[in-house]
Amino acid sequence: MTDNRDISYFFKPKSIAIIGASPTQGKVGNTVLTNIIESGYQGKIYPINPKSEEILGYKAFKNVLDVPNQIEIAIFAIPSKFVALTAEECGKKSVKGLIVISAGFKEVGGKGVEREEELIRIAKKYHMRILGPNCLGFIGINYNGSFAAETPKKGHIAMISQSGAMLTGMMDYSMNQSFGFSCNISLGNKADLGAVDFIEYLAEDEDTKVILCYLESIKDGERFLKVVPKTARKKPIVILKSGVSEAGARAATSHTGALAGADIAYDLAFEKSGVIRAKSIEDLFNYGEIFLFQPIPKENSFAIITNAGGPGIVATDAFEREGLKFAQFSESILHDLRDNLPLEAAIFNPVDIVGDASPERYKFALKTIFGLNRENNDAKHDSNSITTSGALLIVTPQAQTKPTEVAKIIYEISSKFLTDKPIVCSFIGEKSISEGRNYLKQNHIPCYHFPDKAAHSLKTLVKYGEYLNTKPIDKLEIPEYDVDKEKVKEIFKNARNDGRIVLLSHETSEAFRCYGIKSPRSRLARTPNKSMELQKEFGKSVLKIVCPQIIHKTDVGGIALNIETEQQAYEAYIQIIDNAKKFGPQNAKIYGCEVQEMIDFKKESKVNELIIGMSRDPGFGPMLMIGTGGIYANFMKDISFALSYKFSKKDAKKTLQKTKIYRLLQGVRGEPSSDIDAIIDVLLRLSQLVKDFPEIVELDINPLLSFIKKYSAVDIKITITR
Amino acid sequence: MTDNRDISYFFKPKSIAIIGASPTQGKVGNTVLTNIIESGYQGKIYPINPKSEEILGYKAFKNVLDVPNQIEIAIFAIPSKFVALTAEECGKKSVKGLIVISAGFKEVGGKGVEREEELIRIAKKYHMRILGPNCLGFIGINYNGSFAAETPKKGHIAMISQSGAMLTGMMDYSMNQSFGFSCNISLGNKADLGAVDFIEYLAEDEDTKVILCYLESIKDGERFLKVVPKTARKKPIVILKSGVSEAGARAATSHTGALAGADIAYDLAFEKSGVIRAKSIEDLFNYGEIFLFQPIPKENSFAIITNAGGPGIVATDAFEREGLKFAQFSESILHDLRDNLPLEAAIFNPVDIVGDASPERYKFALKTIFGLNRENNDAKHDSNSITTSGALLIVTPQAQTKPTEVAKIIYEISSKFLTDKPIVCSFIGEKSISEGRNYLKQNHIPCYHFPDKAAHSLKTLVKYGEYLNTKPIDKLEIPEYDVDKEKVKEIFKNARNDGRIVLLSHETSEAFRCYGIKSPRSRLARTPNKSMELQKEFGKSVLKIVCPQIIHKTDVGGIALNIETEQQAYEAYIQIIDNAKKFGPQNAKIYGCEVQEMIDFKKESKVNELIIGMSRDPGFGPMLMIGTGGIYANFMKDISFALSYKFSKKDAKKTLQKTKIYRLLQGVRGEPSSDIDAIIDVLLRLSQLVKDFPEIVELDINPLLSFIKKYSAVDIKITITR
């Protein structure tokens, strides 16, 4: 809202005023002040309360203006109707940031909406930033500026939540976890600051290593796409975005008054930005833990060590499901394993060191697969042959198993030798192995009850590693085609002047031609003579009635195919206009006939029908779509989406590759390939068109006929804003 | 293996001999005896050990034959090489069941395989049944006949596991759960008894209310399909089947020497049998808990009550994902809620009773949505209007929340008034709400950390309820068509005599005709004159070379289309034979030409290409397939499978309905419907054909052309065994 992007004062304020600080226990203003004091805050504390001289040992002031020194942030815990007045005073006092805990704003509708707007106005006027209103507050590394019942553990995870209750639940849940927080931010109504603002700031925050978010909507999609990828290159960002379902979206609307966008757009935006999407709160925490404590693997190549076959199979299934790959051990490693493990052991990955495995055997196996055991064997390990980039260790409680000792050995080897290789564990059971599991967790090695979660976490590391290896979004080469923008502007203007928002067929062809997208030649004839002239120019043609009121042209006899002579064109024109007058609606405004070049695709040895389209997401802008076209497009649902934002050639190709029809375009059973580059070119040109013209609200090509050496966008529909 | 299906002696043996009972702590034979004694077993105990007079206070015998009384079961804890001899003695002693814990059988290969076969032979001879070998043992309700480190809690869940280590882990995990076990069965190598045998028995076992299984393979698919559905109607069966992935299947093979079937067949078999498939060990336990403690809902119609909006949205998402439906509250319920809840509350489902919700408010809301609160309101509740068939209650720890008290109220209302309505909870957090969560769990109300698991469990109840409402598998009407089986037998015989296992085109047509499946008329002509005769009979025809060695007929000039006169047929025959001799391989055995009626489908106003096929699963028998056909069938992958076992008309329809092409067959955009009944008929006739002829190993129709009023199976491939 304002240009002051430095919001560090929320994270480490030098001074805090508590508006509505109260001596009465149970009141929000009392809880906030208590939290600030008990969290060991070292800065200045100014309770503001017109009725008290002193609260909890701190001198109280009637008004922020009475405070003799500077105030960096003010926390509001007063009824919403008094907020504006005090905010104004804060502005005069040059307060930098407001944390408005008070509820009774946009979320209650009516008067509340006005109050929120007024608050925004005041903040803008004085260049103050707002967190909230209607939030739990802000917990930084050196203060608890919230009314939460407890202060969570300190650590390196930043947590941002759109729901205060969710944040409360998550903080409570975290008390038993092995990690703590650099900050806990409750966004509330997001009158000013939203998740993106904090994510932007946190990129440079030294206390934060991982960012976790619970969000129900994202305010400014375009800024998200601009800002978030930059932070995501520096530290992992995990977002649980709820309200994905239609019903969920409805609940989200009623909850915060925010409009939840279509979920597909979020998936695309997260993928584009390098954000890991969590599907549940449990995932959110599991991802946070693994990102915080384990390194990103160099490759997708892992080993499993287990003391039982069954769980090994369960883990193998999970690996397959997640797309995790098994490391291939070198000959010398296999030798070592064979020579030193019992005969019943399985030495190939997954390595089964069998039921009576001692801690020492775990140690041997773990060191060996990572090539750390050269002393055991004369054969020299070729360090290039160590392709294992991480491991999952499984422990089941059997007679000789000593889970805690195994845990200690895993930690020892991992911390000494495997600092660049992620290690995760699954200790199956509860009673006899929870001590070992807890030991590992406390020592920052994620340990799960069952192998499937472990595999899921490893996969998340791999996925983030892959993102880090992609080209940064601002380095992508986005083609800029030489187009005739002015001409398209004119077409749109003419349509609007004519009271139309759906373009006529010859207009769409013309607009596409201006952007270098090929479609059958097509022009409007207003007289029979003009249609003769156009037929002569085009050769074999189709004549179609041009009349916005006639939807189903065939039904009124408004189409004539296979027009091969000028004479036929003349006659067809007369007949069609006649039919339209006779069978069309009363109010029909007849423009004439469109003469369109007839694509004789039966001559082509390979034809595929594609659908290409664009719709606009309210947050993230134009979304492109491509897939199997034709009259069955809606039923085949073989389609793939992409955001048009920073849409590179590589993106276009990837989008097409996700469809099933891509394989057909490549050519199967000895067929030649279709002109795939041309199709990619269409997507890129289309992306430029919809970026240049935000007034295009919807666009459809169906079918775009794809041939071996060319294509033709046969049927195009463009809808613009009024 | 034998007919003695009564295996009750494993569950409640009157007397047990422990072969290899040992006084030495740490030995398996000592652990087993100790477990039997410490589990409070009340029957006779006979330690067998040639070197001891007495073990752990029990008189020991040198040999089972020395035992003066009857022995019902014998547990083997001796080296594998001694097992056969002792088994023989057990046979002579009329022991009923053997629990062979000893390893060193099939799982080690070589000699072990022989040992297992010998053991089976002996058991068969004396009508004894075997559990194992290579297993953990058997834990019944009144004895622990295993070498597990601890005896799990008693209760009403039967647990069957193919992996001993997995069972150990699961039992250990269960110690902190709210339920216990009626039995824990470790299957080991399944030399004799497998999961199906125990599932069959457990149908009538009064101690068992739910059956949980961990399996890696199923030995006898057909018996599974016959037996399991019957048990599934009496009590829920949940199976975690691992080894689903290709890599996983490989691991399963090496693990138990069992061949894991294709996973799709398991999905189909489970669905057909009413088995709930768990995807993880966590699911297995969650399903076990909810089935044990909560009733099956009457309808898919649930309510959510929450004290915070965010978790309500998360839960709504989960409901949508799982296909759970929201109950619509009646006007009077909505009135009650509006009149008695705070203004900020959301009264529509999900009901948000807001952050300061007291236990009393939870009570009010819960009673009201189930119509239990009439005293609060003059308006009479119409009990027919109470459509809520269960509820999810969400608690987040906020300032005024009293989680334990809320838990107590939920239990009170649930146990008093809602005994036929499933109630699940999600208490979000850990520290401040674990007491409440534990209270609920102990009182048999499943309570999860997060709402998604709760929704998942409810869905499982709904799914099982749906199964109970289907027609029992043995009541299904399976059509029996009047077919010419003898003729098909002859065709297969001729092909075999001719050294072929892939039928020739005119043979497949003939076989299909015998089973009432229509394909273009087609016969073999061995002379030009015969081809003239056939052309005259068929009208417009196609001539194709008949020669098993020629794969690509077109390439050698082996096909002539559009034969409209007898003269053309004559000439085409000569030309084709000539081409085949000239361009075909040296060894080509030329049978003549197939004359096939030419289907002129361009005359049809609607044509769809289908693929229909059959492959055989090693366990579950013939699997039928239907979907989008044509040359792109492999790329579209629009296919749906069904087991041919007890394949009813309803099954056929359901299978077709799962494909995308079904919508096209129904007719879209004003098109008429295709002849769907005819296609269903083809599937049913095909099912009969592959059941009648187990020698058909593979069968493909691609395409089957579907028209508005008929169809034609144009290209058929049948492969038979030698």
Across all residues in chain B, what is the average pLDDT?
91
Contact A640, A659 (CB under 8 A): yes
A354 CB near a chain B CB, below 8 Å? no
Question: Which of A280, A320, A634 shows the shortest C-beta gap to B450?
Answer: A280
DSSP state of B275: P
| Residues of chain A contacting residue B310, judged by C-beta atoms under 8 Å apart | 161-166, 214, 216, 242, 255
* Strand B696-706 versus strand B639-643 pairing type: unpaired
Phi, psi of A589 (to 5 degrees): -100, 105
A344 CB near a chain B CB, below 8 Å? yes
The answer to the question of residue B464 being in a domain is no
Are B668 and A245 within 8 A, CB to CB?
A: no
In a shared domain, residues A257 and A382? no
In a shared domain, residues A594 and A666? no
Phi, psi of A212 (to 5 degrees): -115, 135
A42 CB near a chain B CB, below 8 Å? no
Contact B476, B648 (CB under 8 A): yes
Instruction: Mutation target for B interface from A179, A253, A314: give the one with most B CBs within 10 A.
Output: A314
Are B397 and A169 within 8 A, CB to CB?
A: yes
Taking residues A136-148, what's their average pLDDT?
A: 96
Question: Which of A307, A321, A430 shows the shortest C-beta gap to B173?
Answer: A430
Instruction: State pTM to two decimals.
Output: 0.90
Q: How many CB atoms lie within 10 A of CB B526?
A: 13
Are A308 and B245 within 8 A, CB to CB?
A: no
The Cα–Cα gap between B75 and B152 comes to 19
Taking residues A564-570, what's their average pLDDT?
A: 94
Are B399 and A147 within 8 A, CB to CB?
A: yes
The answer to the question of residue B213 being in a domain is no
Minimum distance, in Å, between the CA of residue B352 and any CA atom of chain A: 10
Domain of A415, CATH number, reads: 3.40.50.261
| Band of residue B586 on the pLDDT scale cut at 50, 70, 90 | confident
Taking residues B370-383, what's their average pLDDT?
A: 62
Domain of B706, CATH number, reads: 3.30.470.20
Taking residues B426-451, what's their average pLDDT?
A: 94
Q: Which of A573, A598, A623 is the last residue of a domain?
A: A598
Instruction: Mutation target for A interface from B172, B325, B432, B669: give the one with most A CBs within 10 A.
Output: B172
Taking residues B483-503, what's their average pLDDT?
A: 94
**What is the model's pLDDT at position B2?**
44
Which residue from B minimizes the CA distance to A608?
Answer: B632
pLDDT in tens, B265-318: 899 999 999 999 998 889 999 999 999 999 999 999 999 999 998 999 999 999
**What is the model's pLDDT at position B374?**
63
In a shared domain, residues B673 and B695? yes
The answer to the question of residue A667 being in a domain is yes
Minimum distance, in Å, between the CA of residue A400 and any CA atom of chain B: 10
**What is the model's pLDDT at position B259?**
31
Which residue from A minimizes the CA distance to B351?
Answer: A251
In a shared domain, residues B400 and B314? yes
> Of A722 and A511, which is predicted with more confidence?
A511
In a shared domain, residues B317 and B422? yes
The Cα–Cα gap between A148 and A165 comes to 10
Q: Which of A271, A293, A315 is the last residue of a domain?
A: A293
Instruction: Mutation target for A interface from B313, B322, B659: give the one with most A CBs within 10 A.
Output: B313
3-state secondary structure at position A100: strand
In a shared domain, residues B592 and B670? no
| Residues of chain B contacting residue A279, judged by C-beta atoms under 8 Å apart | 452
The Cα–Cα gap between B165 and B161 comes to 9
In a shared domain, residues A441 and A340? yes
B150 CB near a chain A CB, below 8 Å? yes
Token code pair at residue A720: 């613009």
Are B430 and A161 within 8 A, CB to CB?
A: no
Minimum distance, in Å, between the CA of residue A450 and any CA atom of chain B: 7
Are A314 and B166 within 8 A, CB to CB?
A: yes
**Element of type H or E holding A144:** strand A144-146
The answer to the question of residue B713 being in a domain is yes
CA-based end-to-end distance of chain B: 28
Minimum distance, in Å, between the CA of residue B281 and any CA atom of chain A: 7
Minimum distance, in Å, between the CA of residue B102 and any CA atom of chain A: 14
Minimum distance, in Å, between the CA of residue B272 and any CA atom of chain A: 23
| Residues of chain A contacting residue B166, judged by C-beta atoms under 8 Å apart | 308, 310-311, 314, 396, 428
B278 CB near a chain A CB, below 8 Å? no
Range of the domain at A615: 604-720
**What is the model's pLDDT at position B604?**
80
| Residues of chain A contacting residue B176, judged by C-beta atoms under 8 Å apart | 430-431
| Band of residue B223 on the pLDDT scale cut at 50, 70, 90 | very high
A452 CB near a chain B CB, below 8 Å? yes
Question: How many domains is chain B partitioned into structurally?
Answer: 4
Minimum distance, in Å, between the CA of residue B139 and any CA atom of chain A: 16
3-state secondary structure at position A15: strand
Contact B131, B96 (CB under 8 A): no
B242 CB near a chain A CB, below 8 Å? yes
| Band of residue A422 on the pLDDT scale cut at 50, 70, 90 | very high
The answer to the question of residue A480 being in a domain is no
In a shared domain, residues B668 and B549? no
Give bridge partners of residue A131 from the DSSP assignment. Answer: A99
The Cα–Cα gap between B352 and B344 comes to 9
The answer to the question of residue B74 being in a domain is yes
Contact B436, B466 (CB under 8 A): no
**What is the model's pLDDT at position B387?**
84
The Cα–Cα gap between B60 and B45 comes to 9
CB pairs under 8 A between A and B: 253
Contact A255, B310 (CB under 8 A): yes
| Residues of chain B contacting residue A432, judged by C-beta atoms under 8 Å apart | 149-150, 172
Across all residues in chain A, what is the average pLDDT?
91
For B33, half-sphere exposure in the C-beta direction (CA atoms, 13 angstrom radius) is 27
Handedness of CA B496, B502, B503, B504 (dihedral sign): negative
B397 CB near a chain A CB, below 8 Å? yes
The Cα–Cα gap between A359 and A364 comes to 9
Which residue from A minimizes the CA distance to B241?
Answer: A314
In a shared domain, residues B592 and B657? no
The answer to the question of residue A493 being in a domain is no
Q: Is the pLDDT of residue B511 over 70?
A: yes
pLDDT in tens, B9-65: 999 999 999 999 999 998 999 999 999 999 999 999 999 999 999 999 999 999 999
> Of A387 and A295, which is predicted with more confidence?
A295
Are B149 and A397 within 8 A, CB to CB?
A: yes
In a shared domain, residues B594 and B613? no
Contact B317, B350 (CB under 8 A): no
The Cα–Cα gap between B12 and B620 comes to 32
The Cα–Cα gap between A234 and A206 comes to 11
pLDDT in tens, B10-21: 999 999 999 999
**What is the model's pLDDT at position B183?**
98
Minimum distance, in Å, between the CA of residue B278 and any CA atom of chain A: 12
Q: Which of A293, A316, A345 is the last residue of a domain?
A: A293
Token code pair at residue B452: 């998604």
Contact B305, B365 (CB under 8 A): yes
Phi, psi of A294 (to 5 degrees): -120, 145
In a shared domain, residues A670 and A610? yes
**Interacting residues of B663 by C-beta distance below 8 A, sequence separation 6+:** A635
Are B311 and A256 within 8 A, CB to CB?
A: no
| Residues of chain B contacting residue A35, judged by C-beta atoms under 8 Å apart | none
Are A314 and B399 within 8 A, CB to CB?
A: no
Contact B270, B240 (CB under 8 A): no
Taking residues B711-718, what's their average pLDDT?
A: 91
In a shared domain, residues A463 and A328? yes
Handedness of CA A190, A192, A196, A202 (dihedral sign): negative
The answer to the question of residue A481 being in a domain is no
The Cα–Cα gap between A212 and A155 comes to 13
Are A313 and B242 within 8 A, CB to CB?
A: yes
Burial of residue B302 (number of CB atoms within 10 Å: 0-12, 13-18, 19+): buried
| Band of residue B437 on the pLDDT scale cut at 50, 70, 90 | very high
Are A308 and B163 within 8 A, CB to CB?
A: yes
Contact B315, B306 (CB under 8 A): yes
**What is the model's pLDDT at position B616?**
84
